[in-house]
Amino acid sequence: MDYDRFFHDKIQALKNEGRYRIFADLERKCGHFPSAVRHEDNALSDVTVWCSNDYLGMGQNRLVRDAMVAAIDSCGAGAGGTRNISGTNHYHVLLEEELASLHGKEAALLFTSGYVANMTALSTLGAQLPNCILYSDSLNHNSMIEGIRHSRADKRIFKHNDPGDLDRLLAADDPNAAKVVIFESVYSMDGDIAPIGEICDVAEKYNAITFLDEVHAVGMYGPNGAGVAERDGVMGRVDIVQGTLGKALGVIGGYITASADLVDFVRSYGDGFIFTTALPPAIAAGALASVRHVRKTQELRDRHQERSETLKRRLKDAGLPVMPSVCHIVPVLVGDAALCKQASDLLLEQHRIYVQPINYPTVPKGTERLRLTPCPLHDDAMMDELVDALVDVWRVLSLQRAA
């Protein structure tokens, strides 16, 4: 076996398809987000970031930074252990209480990331519940798919956002089997939103519990920023809400919230929770400050939605193919991997605008796109530059315009 040859060929295959990933080497500038400094070949340039998941700019918020610095000064750098063996710090406890209260649940459990939260909670539920069947939306995120796979439970894939198809699958299965329905609220690549209430109706009819990933909604929807389930008045009907501290809340980490017994069960049986070092206390302190601030700051959500609506309108007016998003995410269709990469390169090199290309396997082939994420700090001048730059790139590459 020629190992080096194998690795090299695998990489070359990606390059041939135009979907080899190159990371932009950025230095985020606190106080100037969404501007950043880009490093390339020892040269520096200022760029405007249009694809960050720091949706509300909380990563540079003064309250969050102060809380983190204060916690480092009082508690030190790391947690010093797993949650069970000396690693539980008071900030973890306070943050779990805050998150449970945000989602109107009895309890919450922190994980090192949203990915680990999905993977651990789903693999534990699927492996332990008797004769468990997991029902998964066809567009669920990789972290849920891996959790489902790892559980080794039976699984069914229902058509994306289709309660009728879910009903059909549930009706065909053993009424006595344990069942979990797994879906997201905001699907972040297309920008569509699940019919949460209708999915809960179907799940309740068959005595299934529901697991909802609100990663792209926490902080941004609902009067307290608890997510789309809160906005739609159905939060109490969802059994398990999963979220991240790394996107709109601007820090890192993930969590689930649910009944006290369910959370205690995952705490007690979930390998990805048990066998890993707890988040640093300063991370928990920063996330706590962030949740508290976002909960009571409706202006952030209003401004965020306004920026997104304005950008969609301006792109449409310019004849650019904005995909039909009903949330804050603004996907613009390119439809070809190599062209998508070229469009992104041109934006960066010629216009100092940074938007990462989104290619297969993140989205299906033929639907490659630029995924724009306007935040409250993108001002009108930045939007003018973006629209002009996109129009120019669409012309230079002869890309398909809106139908």
Ligand X SMILES: *Cc1c(COP(=O)(O)O)cnc(C)c1O
Token digits of residue 270: 């979930």
Binding-site member from 55, 115, 211, 273 for ligand X (CB under 6 A): 115
- Of 403, 255, 389, 241, give the one whose Cα is nearest residue 322: 403
DSSP reduced 3-state for 385: helix
Query: Per-residue x/- marks for ligand X, 36-65, CB under 6 A?
Result: ------------------------------
Q: Where are the alpha helices (DSSP H) in 103-239?
A: 114-128, 142-151, 163-172, 196-205, 228-231
Binding-site member from 48, 52, 88, 113 for ligand X (CB under 6 A): 113
Q: Which residues of 53-79 are buried (b: 16+ CB within 10 A; e: fewer)?
A: bbbbbbbbbeebbebbeebbeebeeeb
- Of 330, 304, 329, 328, give the one whose Cα is nearest residue 390: 330
Query: Per-residue x/- marks for ligand X, 164-193, CB under 6 A?
Result: --------------------x---x-----
- Count each helix (H run) and each strand (E run) in the chain, helices first: 14, 16
Which residue of the chain is nearest ligand X when measured via CB? 114
Q: Which residues are catalytic?
A: 247
Binding-site member from 126, 219, 227, 246 for ligand X (CB under 6 A): 246
| 120 lies in the binding site for ligand X (CB under 6 A) | no
Tell me how far, at minimum, the Cβ of 188 lies from ligand X, in Å.
Answer: 5
Q: Where are the alpha helices (DSSP H) in 129-181?
A: 142-151, 163-172
Beta bridge partner(s), residue 33: none
| 373 lies in the binding site for ligand X (CB under 6 A) | no
What is the spatial distance between Cα 112 and Cα 115, in angstroms, rounded to a whole number?
8
Q: Which is nearer to ligand X, 107 or 121 (CB)?
A: 121
| 328 lies in the binding site for ligand X (CB under 6 A) | no
| 286 lies in the binding site for ligand X (CB under 6 A) | no
Tell me how far, at minimum, the Cβ of 250 lies from ligand X, in Å.
Answer: 12
Tell me how far, at minimum, the Cβ of 217 lies from ligand X, in Å.
Answer: 10
| 244 lies in the binding site for ligand X (CB under 6 A) | yes
How far is residue 42 from each of residues 21, 25, 38, 39, 45, measured CA to CA in Å? Answer: 20, 11, 10, 6, 10
- Taking CB under 6 A as the binding criterion, the range among 83-91, 112-120, 127-135, 175-183 that sits at the site for ligand X is 112-120
Number of residues lying near ligand X (CB under 6 A): 14
| 118 lies in the binding site for ligand X (CB under 6 A) | yes
Sign of the dihedral through C-alpha 55, 336, 314, 187: negative
What is the spatial distance between Cα 164 and Cα 195, in angstroms, rounded to a whole number?
11
- Of 193, 211, 294, 204, give the one whose Cα is nearest residue 247: 294
- Taking CB under 6 A as the binding criterion, the range among 3-11, 212-220, 301-309, 352-360 that sits at the site for ligand X is 212-220
Binding-site member from 54, 165, 192, 213 for ligand X (CB under 6 A): 213
How far is residue 245 from each of residues 64, 168, 198, 396, measured CA to CA in Å? Answer: 12, 35, 27, 39
Query: Per-residue x/- marks for ligand X, 62-101, CB under 6 A?
Result: ----------------------------------------
DSSP3 helix / strand / coil % (the chain, rounded to 5) = 45, 20, 35
Tell me how far, at minimum, the Cβ of 219 lies from ligand X, in Å.
Answer: 13
Q: Which is nearer to ligand X, 111 or 394 (CB)?
A: 111
Chain residues in the site for ligand X (CB under 6 A): 113-115, 118, 141, 143, 184, 188, 213, 215-216, 244, 246, 254
